[in-house]
Amino acid sequence: MSLPQKVQGQILTPRGWVRGSLVFDERVQAITADADVENAADAESLHYILPGFVDLHVHGAGGKDTMEAGDAVEIIARKHAKHGTTSMLATTMTAPLSDLELALKAIRPLVDKRSSGSARILGVHLEGPYINPGKLGAQPDFAHTGSLEQVRHLDAIAPIRLITVAPEMDGHLQLVRELTAIGMQVQIGHTLGTYEEGKAALENGATGFTHLYNAMSRLDHRAPGMVGAALAHAQFSEIIPDLLHVHPGAIKAAMRAIPHLYCVTDSTAASGMPDGQYMLGRQVVHKCLGGCVLKMARWQAAH
């Protein structure tokens, strides 16, 4: 048991901001208003004290990618912890089954392991391969239709907490039903589906959307697409708030429409690294001026 410590600043609580003091050891022990802090002349000079971030979409950091074996995910978790993330889902890329198996075997020993200075690995976000090959985004071209049997096989290697599916693919609406029936969280993503197909997926158990606006059919006033389905019906959705992936106005629209909109980094091996060349699954990405781009000029998060 560590000795209690005290920090002061602007503290984010469930009831809003408090200017004061926070006492903690392994857990928060007390939050109190503090006259000295409340009366600080320069509020902007105060530290911001926030709960740890939970990032449900992490591909990499520190030059390492989750699809690597060995200690890659440990390095990624430590890098994210330095920037305030305390829990994360190790997120895979669309890849051959053998690559996914190798990645999950490396992730499994780390799930729920508590290490000082490291973000906790909650499990796996399986982003692909059950996506639309016509809307890969930055995913490699290994997309294919999925089956409950294959998902169970992968889940037996490392626990899958979240899975991204394109519901318009053959058999995938049934797959959404089957996955949610066994307690898996399903998000809609990398999809060319219609508004109606998105609405049907939500009605059949899908819980939300993967990186809203990106790699999905766009909103048009006569064909609302997946973006329209999300804005009209979703309770939950990811969004990447780096201002490269999504315009600030589109973020504000999503905040008004979706009750539980949450931020993800969708981070790559380039996160926290200088400009240069890095791996994203089997692909090479180039980081420059805060963004990452593939050879075919598809943007990815850098941070």
**Residues taking part in catalysis:** 266
Q: Choose among 271, 289, 286: nearest CA to 91.
A: 271
Which residues, 6 or more positions from 91, have their beta carbon under 8 angstroms from its beta carbon? 56, 57, 58, 59, 66, 124, 125, 126, 127, 266
Q: Which helix (H) or strand (E) holds 198?
A: helix 195-203
User: For residues 121 and 159, what is the distance between their CA atoms, to the nearest angstrom?
Assistant: 11
Q: In what order do the strands lie in the sheet with 160-165?
A: 53-58, 85-92, 120-127, 160-165, 185-188, 208-209, 236-239, 260-263
User: For residues 43 and 165, what is the distance between their CA atoms, to the nearest angstrom?
Assistant: 45
User: For residues 235 and 188, what is the distance between their CA atoms, to the nearest angstrom?
Assistant: 13
User: For residues 66 and 238, what is the distance between their CA atoms, to the nearest angstrom?
Assistant: 19
In eight-state DSSP terms, residue 78 is H
